[in-house]
Amino acid sequence: MYMKKEKMKTRISLLCLLIGMLSIPAVLQAQTTPLPIRTDSNEGVAVLPDYQEEDNTLSPKEFARQIADEQAVLLDVRTPEEYEEGHLEGAKLVDYKSDEFEEQVRALDPQRTYYMYCRSGVRSHKALEQMKEMGFKHLYELDGGITAWKSEGLPVK
Q: Is 118 a catalytic residue?
A: yes
Tell me which of 91, 94, 116, 118 is the catalytic residue.
Answer: 118
CA distance 139 to 127: 10
- Cα-based distances in Å from 71 to 68, 113, 142, 151, 152: 9, 8, 17, 26, 24
- Residue environment code for 61-72, b if the CB has 16+ CB neighbours within 10 A, otherwise e: eebbeebeeeeb
Catalytic residues: 118
